[in-house]
Amino acid sequence: MCETCGCGDPEIVPVDVHDKILAGNDRTAAHNREHFRERRVVAVNLMGSPGAGKTAVLEATAGRLGGRQRLGALAGDLATERDADRLRAAGITAKSITTGSACHLDAEMVHRGLHDFPWRDFEYLFIENVGNLVCPAVYDLGQAANVVALAVTEGEDKPLKYPVMFRKADLVLITKIDLLPHLPDVRIDSIADALGRVMPRPLYFPVSARTGEGMDRWLEWLEHLRVARPSSEISGRAPTGEAVVVS
């Protein structure tokens, strides 16, 4: 009540909050991250446009690592099981998170996805996010690292158009480089230049899931990520702690 004059009118009170609106998501992400760290599971949040080659990269990764490392995947998909089906066929233990109309995964969806899923058995848990270069960048999931797949067919200026996504990337996989001979106007150097204007620590590997070119560097990076734990300190930088540019 207004105490100045006792008129009985309600009082307007400013309440300072100064907190992140997504603080709830961040708490769940921290919870996920703690689970992963305790069980020494390396969680990788793989993002990129629809058709950037996220699933193909994971299929090729499984082809090379499958015999030596136990791989799991949570595949965010608006409506289908297709990605999870492909990943299972490649030997990855995979589960779909069907998001319905949601354009991204959040920490709670990942947490629920871990239920009834043998995630503790994996060396690597790939979280294949919904194909989208905008929304997924906003949500921490509890991952050890963010990886963004960018296909050469998407154009050289994608990083400049979507700076939020690329700023959050610890690593960019420039995919489908086997198509470069058909794309006379696309140069890796130009993509690298764009990345350097949105990523303070630009790190990228040109790869082809189809031919296997460049995949060794990606696998080495994954190995570094596993060895260089604890993961919570890695976010925002290369696992080695150095800015590394590989062309």
Footprint of other proteins on this chain (CB under 8 A)? 1, 10-25, 102-104, 106, 134-135, 137-139, 160, 163-165, 167, 196-202, 243
> Between the CA atoms of 189, 195, 201 and 204, what dihedral angle is there, to the nearest 10 degrees?
-60
CB of 97 to other proteins, least distance (A): 15
CB of 117 to other proteins, least distance (A): 23
Rounded-to-integer distance, Cα 37 and Cα 1, Å = 51
Nearer to other proteins, 31 or 167 (CB): 167
Q: For 90-130, where are the alpha helices, taking DSSP H only?
A: 107-114
Amino acid letter, 191: I
CB of 89 to other proteins, least distance (A): 31
Given a contact cutoff of 8 angstroms between Cβ atoms, the answer to whether 152 and 186 are in contact is yes
Nearer to other proteins, 24 or 50 (CB): 24
Nearer to other proteins, 24 or 118 (CB): 24
Nearer to other proteins, 197 or 224 (CB): 197
Nearer to other proteins, 13 or 184 (CB): 13
Nearer to other proteins, 38 or 189 (CB): 189
Rounded-to-integer distance, Cα 116 and Cα 239, Å = 30
Given a contact cutoff of 8 angstroms between Cβ atoms, the answer to whether 150 and 199 are in contact is no
CB of 141 to other proteins, least distance (A): 13
Rounded-to-integer distance, Cα 42 and Cα 57, Å = 17
Rounded-to-integer distance, Cα 204 and Cα 192, Å = 8
The CA-based angle 23-164-218, given to 5 degrees, is: 100
Rounded-to-integer distance, Cα 84 and Cα 89, Å = 9
Residues in the chain: 247
Nearer to other proteins, 37 or 237 (CB): 237
Rounded-to-integer distance, Cα 13 and Cα 22, Å = 24
CB of 121 to other proteins, least distance (A): 31
CB of 101 to other proteins, least distance (A): 8
Given a contact cutoff of 8 angstroms between Cβ atoms, the answer to whether 180 and 151 are in contact is no
CB of 206 to other proteins, least distance (A): 20
- What is the layout of strands, in order, in the sheet containing 124-128? 93-98, 71-77, 124-128, 42-48, 145-151, 171-175, 204-206
Amino acid letter, 103: C
